Amino acid sequence: MRKKVIAGNWKMNKNLEESQKLATELVNIIKDEINNNAQIVICAPFTSLYAISSIIKGSKIALGAQNCYTKNSGAYTGEISTEMLKSVGVSYVIIGHSERREYFTESNAFLAEKINAVLAHDMTPIFCCGETLSQREQGIHIDFVNAQLSESLFHLSDSDIQKVVIAYEPIWAIGTGVTASTAQAQEMHELIRKHIASKYGNDIAEKIIIQYGGSMKPENAKELLSCKDVDGGLIGGASLKARDFVDIIKNA
Ligand code: PGA
CB 234 within 8 A of CB 7: yes
Q: How wide is the angle at C-alpha 4 spanned by C-alphas 85 and 197, nearest 5°? A: 90
CA distances in angstroms from 183 to 174, 180, 218, 222, listed in the order given:
17, 8, 18, 14
40 CB near ligand 1 (under 6 Å): no
- Residue among 152, 55, 142 nearest 96 (CA): 152
Q: Which of 12, 216, 245 has most ligand 1 atoms within 8 Å of its beta carbon, as the pocket-test mutant?
A: 216
Look at the chain and report how many structural domains it folds into: 1
| Residue-wise pLDDT tens digits, 203-227 | 999 999 999 999 999 999 999 999 9
Ligand 1 center–CA 20 separation, angstroms: 21
Residue of 127, 130, 134 lying closest to 153 (CA atoms): 127
Query: pLDDT digits over 14-69, tens only?
Result: 999 999 999 999 999 999 999 999 999 999 999 999 999 999 999 999 999 999 99
Taking the centre of ligand 1 as the mean of its atom positions, its distance from the CA of residue 237, in whole angstroms, is 6
- Measured by CA distance, the residue closest to atom 1 of ligand 1 is 236
The domain containing residue 105 runs over which residues? 5-249
Instruction: Indicate the average pLDDT of the chain.
Output: 97
CATH (domain of 166)? 3.20.20.70
From CA 96, how far away is CA 112, in angstroms rounded?
9
Regarding the beta carbon of 64 and ligand 1, being less than 6 Å apart is answered: no
Catalytic residues, which ones?
97, 169
- Residue of 174, 225, 249 with the most ligand 1 atoms within 8 Å of its CB, for mutation: 174
pLDDT at position 159 is: 98
